[in-house]
Structure 1
Amino acid sequence: MTEKKIKNIFVNGAISSAFIADSIAKHSSKKEIGGHSIFLGQVRADEIEGRLVSAIDYTAYEDVALEQMHKIRAEIFEKYPLTCMHIYQSLGTIKAGEICLFVFTSSSHRKPAMHACEEVVERLKAELPIWGKEIFENGTHQWKENK
């Protein structure tokens, strides 16, 4: 038995709406799918202590994050009857309003796709060494707390 290749979830820059649409369109030929669940994480223009967030600069300990995501992915596939799962996390500076996380799960029925998608997002946020530095309009910055 061969070991499954670890998939790279990281993309440089924001995740475009064209990329998301193309990912969805590619699944129309998979007739066994009855439900998809999609989570899109978007950078918010939060106001913190009178300063407005203009972007977030994402960094990661990539090797460790990919290894951990590989384990999470295997556990999710064991737990839910999924047809497929796609995860994309931005690295670099992502402006407010842009998409920084795209999680897409598919299954024969809606509930496994929905539950799996939510669990993937929660575990990714809690378990992966990915950090965001909030960049404010005035040029200052601070590390973002993962919520």
Structure 2
Amino acid sequence: MSDKKENISQSSAPSPLGRVGEGIDRPKKSSFIQGQITSEFIGNSIAKHQSKTTIGAHNIFLGQVRADVIEGKTVAAIEYTAYEEMAEQTFYEIREVAFAKYELSCLHIYHSLGIVKTGEICLFVFVSAPRRKVVYEALEFLVEEIKEKTAVFGKEIFEDESYVWKQNT
């Protein structure tokens, strides 16, 4: 077993400071943003990483609200709600697993709460690493884990203001 895995297995609880077992002084941040995630927010997030010169690759997933047609009705928006404390803990745990599994430099997860209209961004996942291959693998892992495990719920609101609860696929 590698030293990294031994450090992780010896930890009795996830550290709120960053990578498990590495002692990085990085506090938990909220993963939630009210309303859409703007292009300015995304651009600023990218720009903040320009000074981190050990990073050689970034990868980004942007989830956008689609104008799906369900039973003849067109989705106009999704209203996102969450069990926030539970969802934040799940985001944190997913993040920690990703740091343990992949050689990442940075990892950020942001999800909308409230109403997000079709065409707007509702999920922003941003990973950085020294090399490109790992960011592709990590990003796919992260998005699938988020969709499967996080207590975030979407109410699809139709143009006629009726709604259905979204099923994650």
Say what the alpha-carbon RMSD is for the aligned residues. 1.3
- Give, in angstroms, the shift of residue 3 of structure 1: 4.0
Any idea what the Cα deviations from partners look like across 1:92-115, whole Å, max 9, x if unmatched? Answer: 000000000000000000111111
TM superposition outliers: structure 1 runs of 4+ over 6 Å: none
Is 1:6 the equivalent of 2:28? yes
Is 1:141 the equivalent of 2:155? no
Unaligned 5+ segments in structure 1 are none
Higher strand share: 1
For residue 16 of structure 1, the aligned residue among 13, 38, 45 is 38
Q: For residues 30 and 66 of structure 2, what CA distance do their matches in structure 1 show?
A: 25
Is 1:70 the equivalent of 2:92? yes
Q: For residues 85 and 75 of structure 2, what CA distance do their matches in structure 1 show?
A: 29
The percentage of counterpart residues that share the same residue type is 52
Contact 1:7 1:70 in 2 (8 A): no
Contact 1:6 1:67 in 2 (8 A): no
Helix, strand or coil at the partner of 2:125: strand
TM-score norm. by structure 2 comes to: 0.84
Summarize the Cα distance change of 1:21–1:3 in structure 2 as closer, same or farther, 3 Å threshold. Answer: closer
- Give, in angstroms, the shift of residue 26 of structure 1: 1.1
Aligned length: 147
Higher relative contact order (CA 8 A, sep 6+): 1
Which structure has the greater CA radius of gyration? 2
Unaligned 5+ segments in structure 2 are 1-10, 18-26
Contact 2:91 2:109 in 1 (8 A): no
- Give, in angstroms, the shift of residue 145 of structure 1: 0.4
For residue 102 of structure 1, the aligned residue among 112, 119, 124 is 124
- Give, in angstroms, the shift of residue 7 of structure 1: 2.6
